[in-house]
Every structure is written in C-alpha cells, then in structure tokens.
Amino acid sequence: MNLTINTDRLAGRLAELAEIGKIGRTGVCRLALSEEYKEGMDLVRKWMDEAGLKTRFDNFGNLIGRLEGKNPDEPAVMLGSHIDSQPSGGRYDGTIGVLGALEAVQTMMENGIQPEVPVEVISFCDEEGHRFGVGLFGSRGILGALEPGELERADEDGVTRREALIGFGADPEKLQESEYDTGKIASYIEMHIEQGPNLEEQDEPIGIVSGIAGPRWLGVTLTGISGHAGTVPMPMRQDPVTGAAEIITAFNSIVQTEAGAPTVGTVGDIKVSPGGRSIIPEKVEFTIDLRDSDLTRRDEYEQQLREAVKDISEKHGLDYEISDDGGTTPKEASREIMTIMSEESETMNLAPPVLMSGAFHDASHMADACDMGMIFVRSKDGISHHPDEYSTDEDIAIGTELLYKTMLRLVGSV
C-alpha cells in the first residue's frame, strides 16, 4: 500500500517515546503529571515545534499544537489522544493517537496544504485515571465538565491533583482560562488501539468506531464484625467477605441477563480489612465497573445491583455503603465522519469493519461538544493495559493514513 505519511518517522517517534517511563522490555509507566509524563510531553512538544505548530501547555496539563487555517476564527478540527499510561501498561495505548495526529498534520504541512479551518493536535492529561482515581481529566476539563473536589483527590503517596498540576507547571487557579468556548471545536478525531480481539479475528488492520459504551463506576463498602477465625461459630458470623462474594456473583449474573448484549461488568479492586489468615474481616471494599452501549439497560442493571447489595447485606447482618464514582453516558460517533472514513478507506482498498468501543476514551466526552469519530488499530491478542500490548508499525501507519485522509476532508482541503 502506497502511503502519504512518513511511516519511518512515525515508527521512530513511537519507539523513542516508549523509552520514557520504560519498564521491562516492552512496558511503560507514565502516570499522569509524573516526572515521566512531563518528560514525555516535553518530547512531544519538541516534535510539534519542529513540525511548525504553535504549541502550549494549558492549566489542565494538556499539550496543544495549533495550525491556523485560512479562516482562523472558524471552529477547529481537533485530533489527538493521550500519552499517560497505567502503572504497568504498554507503549501504544493512547500514544498512537497523539503521534498519529501529529504525523497527519505534519504531512499536510509538508505537502503545502493549508487548511480552511484551524487544526489542533492535542495530548490530553490523565485519560487513564489511575493516579487520582478518576480519568478523562483533560478532556473533561476543556469542556468545563469537572466534578467538585477533583483537585483535592490524592494519589497513594498523598499528593493531590492540585499539587501535581502545580509541579507540572500548570495553574489550577486559572482552569477556566483553559476551557474552550462553546462552538470552538468543530470535530474531534481519535485513533486508538482496539484493546480487543475483533480486528485480529477478522484479519483487518483497522476499524471504524460507531460509538463508545458508557462506563458506570461505583464503590461498595461492606462492614461486619471482626473476630477470631477459629472461635466464632459460622451461624453467628457477620462476615463482609461472604457478603461480597455473593454480591459479586450476583453482579456477574446480572450483566449476563440478556444474551448477546454488549454489557460487561467487572470488580477490579478488592480490599479486605484488617487482613489476616486467622481474622474474620471487619470491612470489605470493592469497585464496580458496569459498561453498556444502551443507557436504559445499564441503568436497569445498576438498580438490580443496588438491590442485591441491600438484600445480601441484610441477609448477613452487614452495614453497606455505595459510593458514586462517576462515569459517562454511551456516545455515538458522527455518521458524517463515519461515512468519510468509509469512503476514504475504499480509496485505500480497505473495508474496515464497524465496531463499538467497550473502553472509554477522551472521545466519549468530546462527543458532548462536537462531532466525534474514532479509528481503531488492530491489537495483537486483544491485549491492552499490559506490557505485552502490541500493534504493528504497518497497522498503525494504515490507521494514520486514514486519519490523514479523513482530516483533509474535514478541514476543507479536499
């Protein structure tokens, strides 16, 4: 396939950025607003500057590179993703979307094409949400959609997001200055690894995303009575671990109620206190991640879960608390952008399948403000959030070529 983009440059940048925060042979740890994150963002900014973009860091920790169009006051076409990672993540998650966006815009500039409207390449801050417990920070931030108290959320070392932003060089007292006015973004396009097995199973290098499932996040705390594991009779126990096990089993059944539905549910983190082989626990805390492309069904399943927590807690004599940890509603991609992607794929002799994204992305919030589109790139074995995460340079280049062609249509240069 003859590609317009510079495939060697793109692959080289991916490899160089992967050295920052590198763990093991192929893993990456670049937590949001960490030293590694700052080093990585500085490198990406250097590449943006060299390409000729006008760059800036905003007060949310986002990096933005802008190319003015013939009509600079028109809403911008925005492309990007994120470079922060999970603590033991891979080198492709998010990163290909940032560097692919830069490559697409740089290719346009090198071909002497001036867009009709402004184009911005953005690397969003803290999409992953690992360090401070809530992600999509930068994308929600520019849209004025942050929740109260987010700046005071602390990491495991007690560092608050406010402190981390200040350390990064941002000013958390001036967040409003970094928000985008309504109507200033015309469209947002994000390329991302699929993080699933569908493209590999279908032997396709790329896919077109039709929408993004909405995750719902809850925290459940069960409190019982601690005691000696050898002396308290079973019928007299108020054991929160037993209650948690029943709730988790019930949750697993709830999300499989409708066969073939894209609903998924996960308990990803469990804490038992005080913790000990010979101690009946006093408290259990665990997380709930509930995702669906159908908001009505997701809400119904959440209500069933809440009822299960109540009923099972009462059965075991436990106190319970359910915390609301946020989430997003399901989002649909722009049909117009999907059509453009499909048409441009045909010119590349490709017929990419249409996929729903089960993972959330910055695109899920950007869809609230503008037309949104996404391109998925094939993931080996569907692995993500792990050092073994892998997409070939060839597949990434194909995805970037489609990103480039789609961008040209959106900025009025074709």
Pairing of strands 76-82, 119-124: parallel
CA atoms within 13 Å, Cβ hemisphere of 104: 36
- Residue 122 to residue 190: CA distance in whole angstroms: 10
Orientation angle between helical segments 393-410 and 335-347, nearest 10 degrees: 120
Q: Is 385 annotated as a binding residue?
A: yes
Question: What's the pLDDT at 414?
Answer: 60
Residue length, the chain?
A: 414
pLDDT in tens, 87-134: 999 999 999 999 999 999 999 999 999 999 999 999 999 999 999 988
pLDDT in tens, 346-368: 999 999 999 999 888 999 999 99
pLDDT band for 328, please (50, 70, 90 cuts).
confident
Q: Estimate the share of the chain in helix, then strand, then coil, as percent rounded to the nearest 5.
A: 35, 25, 40
pTM of the model: 0.86
Q: Is 316 annotated as a binding residue?
A: no
pLDDT band for 413, please (50, 70, 90 cuts).
low
**Structural domains of the chain, ranges and CATH numbers in brackets:** 7-213+331-410 (3.40.630.10), 214-327 (3.30.70.360)
Q: Is 365 annotated as a binding residue?
A: no
